[in-house]
Amino acid sequence: MTAIWDKMCEVFTLLVRPTRRKTRVTFSPSTLHREIIRHTKLSASPNPFFNFLAEVRMKANGGELMHPGCGSMSPRESARIAKTAGRLWNSMSDEQKQPYRSIAMEQRKLKRLRRRRSYLSARRRRERKTPVECKFLLPPPPTHQEHL
């Protein structure tokens, strides 16, 4: 009797306990490079210096992607990196700054497109709404005899 009870308890715990897949994913260097490029394009800023600063922070973090608020750097260390990046940015030539400026221009264009799309979709939503007619609150339309 206890063996049956133990088996029932074991089956019940297997059914109730959530199972997790234990897999480990490894990426090839080309996949990591593609992921870094995708992340930088997604988190790009319309300000070219911020794009440069994001790259400097990524290099300072050992090539790992950094997400805001993840706590991988202390505020003091982050401020030190930002100050150093500012000095580097001011000492760079226009040719060296050009890639960051092109990313910023592309980001501005995308922002304009997103704004335009959201405006058009909101306009279409407004146009699709049918006006509600309230027959009981409005006076009846005048007839031809009332105009005379």
Domain-wise residue ranges, the chain: 46-115
Q: Low-confidence residues of the chain, pLDDT below 50?
A: none
Residue closest to 96 by CA, chosen among 41, 62, 49: 49
> What pLDDT is stored for residue 12 in this prediction?
63
> What pLDDT is stored for residue 37 in this prediction?
67
> What pLDDT is stored for residue 75 in this prediction?
84
Please give the Cα distance from 53 to 33 (Å, whole number). Answer: 18
Pair of tokens at residue 140: 């009846």
> What pLDDT is stored for residue 58 in this prediction?
81
> What pLDDT is stored for residue 85 in this prediction?
94
